[in-house]
Structure 1
């Protein structure tokens, strides 16, 4: 095994060709153990790095690593991966699939947009496992008056769990100064990837929500686009806020201290008026490649 490894850096969920959330993509990665993959991800230093290997049950096997641990799924790294595979001519059809440590998921390619499948939503109203609404508000240094009227924070799971926090306006969302240590502790207690505060006020007209994402439990202070959180949010908007739209457009990254605008598309699949599954997707752009050397 060579000590020098090439990693493609691909920005997923780009907004009009700009911004997006960078992910590392390593292909092929069959020769690397999980221990080596973790070392590579730590050296890359991005929120997630995807490793593509052969699969016995899907078209590709994907393993996702943050700088400090493996996770079951990653939205932006999935979109980055399949956009890259499509652009390289490795994936040729409109449909593909990924094997992960949490089962298989279908991938769809529609023009420039790659979509990943997520599951029907599960909701966990607070208090849950001794975590209260006030605990969540305190970890964001918010008051109840900062929330969207008549709506509360709630963990939602469509494959991974995220805390949805509806705030009343863009100014409130922008002003959030998170207590990352408290969010880390609550995320660990509730098995969350992170927090996904949002507002219905958007900078781009016609979009459905603007968001931010904090995941200190996975060494991610804040990231620009989170496809696995966008699915739960679309479900929350549909079921909890009664926004009965089957296609939603979310913006993220615009309110970060260093903005990196992102656009995430979500298509809900309904059966008898209830969400049975969903697709979350976006566009991706290869920005560069880097080479690292393992010790």
Structure 2
């Protein structure tokens, strides 16, 4: 069987002042790739997520997202990477477009080199609705206790398109010293269908930042990543609803406490009606990092055999 080379662009999403960010793989013209192709490319790329872009029959673009080990319905930083990249190439213009995923359409707004993605209104689930998993189980999987939490920071499951367990700790010192038990985090994530844990503190090192966070998603082969737009959105909702931060715009920082720091900045804009969150947009700036080719096996009909 013949082989074919697929062009992969690596784009750093949610950069802060042009630095840091979270690298995402972007493959354009992916309409002829199979599910197996996309999974194989994502595995070889070795990034937390790779996005595959193809035309959509109605409007905008279809996006398929894969981590190194499985498909994921939505990916924030890869979405921002895709549309910022396509704007630089002139494939899309400024203003509004649409991304279509396995979970339906979502609005995209492009402003310069920044892109913003729509997320649905939040849904919260507290223990004991967690199929026998307790708050103590979640804390133990992170190696912390209730003494490490900030007031109101008890674990809560939040979904605005993907499900994350959000946990608020008292300060950056606790956040920096987290050492998750990988097996326990995977087991809980499997049971509750989580992408991962988003651990945060509102006691941030910088002014103008609503919270700084870390994301652990080993179920999806994401040990830790520098920016998670689909988790920053739920966190902004939680800060608004549980912590009384009644702001319609928040900046969430991530990546500061990774083994190799890569500070990212995610802007979340909340839409509210009568004090209730009805929707949100999360976005930021992206920049090109590099290009490479990944070789996959060509299907028989394309190989001409």
TM-score bracket for this pair, using the shorter chain length: over 0.9
Correspondence for 1:112: 113
- Please tell me whether the aligned partners of residues 58 and 104 of structure 1 are also in contact (alpha carbons under 8 angstroms): no
1:91-127: per-residue Cα shift (whole Å, max 9, x none)?
A: 1131111010000000011233200000000000112
How far is the alpha carbon of 1:57 from its aligned partner?
3.0
Task: Find the partner of 1:248 among 243, 247, 250.
Answer: 250
1:3-59: per-residue Cα shift (whole Å, max 9, x none)?
A: 111100000000110010000000010110111111111110100000000112331
Correspondence for 1:18: 19
* 1:150 to 1:97, Cα distance in 2 relative to 1, 3 A: closer
- Please tell me whether the aligned partners of residues 9 and 24 of structure 1 are also in contact (alpha carbons under 8 angstroms): yes
Task: Find the partner of 1:143 among 142, 145, 152.
Answer: 145
Cα distance in 1, alignment partners of residues 287 and 169 from structure 2: 31
Correspondence for 2:265: 263
Cα distance in 1, alignment partners of residues 197 and 37 from structure 2: 29
Cα distance in 1, alignment partners of residues 205 and 25 from structure 2: 28
TM-score by length of 1: 0.98
**2:241 matches 1:239:** yes
How far is the alpha carbon of 1:142 from its aligned partner?
0.2
- Please tell me whether the aligned partners of residues 168 and 200 of structure 2 are also in contact (alpha carbons under 8 angstroms): yes
Correspondence for 1:55: 56
Task: Find the partner of 1:189 among 188, 191, 196.
Answer: 191
Correspondence for 2:45: 44
1:64-83: per-residue Cα shift (whole Å, max 9, x none)?
A: 00001001000000000000
* 1:2 to 1:95, Cα distance in 2 relative to 1, 3 A: farther
Cα distance in 1, alignment partners of residues 59 and 103 from structure 2: 13
1:164-212: per-residue Cα shift (whole Å, max 9, x none)?
A: 0000000000010011111111011111100000001222211100000
Correspondence for 2:30: 29
**Structure number having the greater strand percentage:** 2
Correspondence for 1:82: 83
How far is the alpha carbon of 1:2 from its aligned partner?
5.7
Correspondence for 1:226: 228
Cα distance in 2, alignment partners of residues 150 and 94 from structure 1: 38
SS in 1 for 2:235: helix
5+ unaligned residues in a row in structure 2: which ranges? 298-305
* 1:89 to 1:135, Cα distance in 2 relative to 1, 3 A: same
Cα distance in 1, alignment partners of residues 274 and 19 from structure 2: 38
Alignment of 1:67-216 (within 5 A): 67-127=68-128, 128-216=130-218
Q: Number of matched residues?
A: 295
Cα distance in 2, alignment partners of residues 206 and 213 from structure 1: 21
Cα distance in 2, alignment partners of residues 140 and 122 from structure 1: 23
Cα distance in 2, alignment partners of residues 190 and 211 from structure 1: 21
Cα distance in 2, alignment partners of residues 208 and 62 from structure 1: 30
Which protein has the larger Cα radius of gyration, Structure 1 or Structure 2?
A: 2
TM-score by length of 2: 0.95
